[in-house]
Amino acid sequence: MKVLGIESSCDETGVAVYCSEKGLLGHKVNSQIDLFTEYGGVIPEIAARDHSVKIIKLLEKLLSELNLSLENIDLIAYTVGPGLIGSLMVGETVAKTIAKTKSIEILPIHHLEGHILAPGLEDKDVPPPYLCLLVSGGHTQIIDCKSYGDYTIIGETIDDACGEAFDKVGKLLNLEYPGGPKVSKLADSGDSSRFKFPRALTKDRNYNFSFSGLKTSVLYTVNDSDESDYADIAASFQEAVIDVLTKKVAWALEDTGHQRLICSGGVAANKNLRERLQLLSAESNIEVLYPSLEFCTDNAAMIAYAGYIRKKFNLKSHQTNFARPRWPLGELYA
């Protein structure tokens, strides 16, 4: 079975082909980051238009490099939500048009299920049960994954996502959008113990997060500092985020009894976070798995793979068949 994956939920256009026998055959991502550096964030209308300009060419290029045609595709898996409505509708229109004209089966996929399953995409399937720390541009969640398609959010941010906090701090430090990777790079040359930024919601044992106070605290510190302090601010901010993430994950692992942790989403590319989770893994004998760096941020390979898993295990289909911008993972079947 060959699955064509299509991703267009935000500012990355992605296409991929996953094969049930041979694994990932290939994928392509067109990032729109360059379009948005001057604005410091995504402009939804520009994102949607760029998806529609690029997606067909990207797909033709992928298929020709793989020496495949649409006749070789058995299933189309596309991101139906959550995300930007205009962006989602581009991928959906392409997916539905191909499915209809070529009589191919089609499966709408929840974007976060793609992120959750991404670590199984390359070498071998990584079946649940496990705990997932999902840290992306729009989400920060701890998810109890009992089986494929059975995900319970046991903790999440009550305000900003941690990727969003990285991006906002990047802006404060005059770094280009998206700030996450640049804050992390700047932090390499900084002293992470210099500024004591708040670690919100860590007094009581719970798995929720709050990053907006941290961001405000960074803002005040930036206002009282000059550029020579920026590396120390970046390092101290990153340390505060990682402290909170690892503390909550350690609690959740103890309480749920999971022996395996999946860390995925864009911030899972952060090397300091990975180092800290590695320590946690060694201390508590927990296996920690990540997608490779290129599959941490948005891509269609994880969407094709989620489609393959849904089909293989004949998972109950969710009722969402039209672009759904707001769609909490807890409402997967609602």
Ligand X SMILES: Nc1ncnc2c1ncn2[C@@H]1O[C@H](COP(=O)(O)OP(=O)(O)OP(=O)(O)O)[C@@H](O)[C@H]1O
Q: By CB under 6 A, name the one of 179, 190, 291, 307 that touches ligand X.
A: 179
Give strand ranges (E) for 45-118: 75-81, 105-110
Binding flag, residue 166, ligand X (CB under 6 A): yes
Q: Say if CB 239 and CB 247 are below 8 A apart.
A: no
Closest Cα to residue 222, out of 246, 247, 188, 186? 186
According to DSSP, the β-strands at 105-110 and 150-156 are: unpaired
Binders of Mg ion: how many residues, by CB under 5 A? 2
Q: Where does this chain touch ligand X (CB under 6 A) — which range of 58-66, 121-129, 180-188, 308-316?
A: 180-188
Q: Say if CB 114 and CB 303 are below 8 A apart.
A: yes
- Would you state the structure tokens that stand for residue 318, as one six-digit string? 């969710």
Binding flag, residue 267, ligand X (CB under 6 A): yes
Q: Where does this chain touch ligand X (CB under 6 A) — which range of 57-65, 163-171, 283-291, 303-311?
A: 163-171
Per-residue contact track with ligand X, 101 to 140, x per CB under 6 A? Answer: ----------x---x--------------------xxxx-
Closest Cα to residue 148, out of 37, 314, 19, 11? 314
Q: Least distance in Å: CB of 165 to ligand X?
A: 8
Bridge partners (DSSP) listed for residue 227: none
Q: Least distance in Å: CB of 63 to ligand X?
A: 24
Would you say 6 or 10 has its CB closer to ligand X?
Answer: 10
Q: Where does this chain touch ligand X (CB under 6 A) — which range of 19-27, 123-131, 265-273, 284-292?
A: 265-273
Binding flag, residue 298, Mg ion (CB under 5 A): yes
Q: Least distance in Å: CB of 141 to ligand X?
A: 9
Q: Least distance in Å: CB of 60 to ligand X?
A: 24
> 172-179, long-range: CB within 8 Å, 24+ apart, which pairs?
172/215, 172/218, 172/219, 172/222, 173/222, 173/230, 173/233, 173/234, 174/227, 174/230, 176/37, 177/33, 177/36, 177/37, 177/39, 177/40, 177/41, 178/33, 178/137
- Give residues in contact with ligand X (CB under 6 A): 9-10, 83, 111, 115, 136-139, 163-164, 166-167, 178-181, 184, 265-267, 269-270, 297-298
- Give residues in contact with Mg ion (CB under 5 A): 136, 298
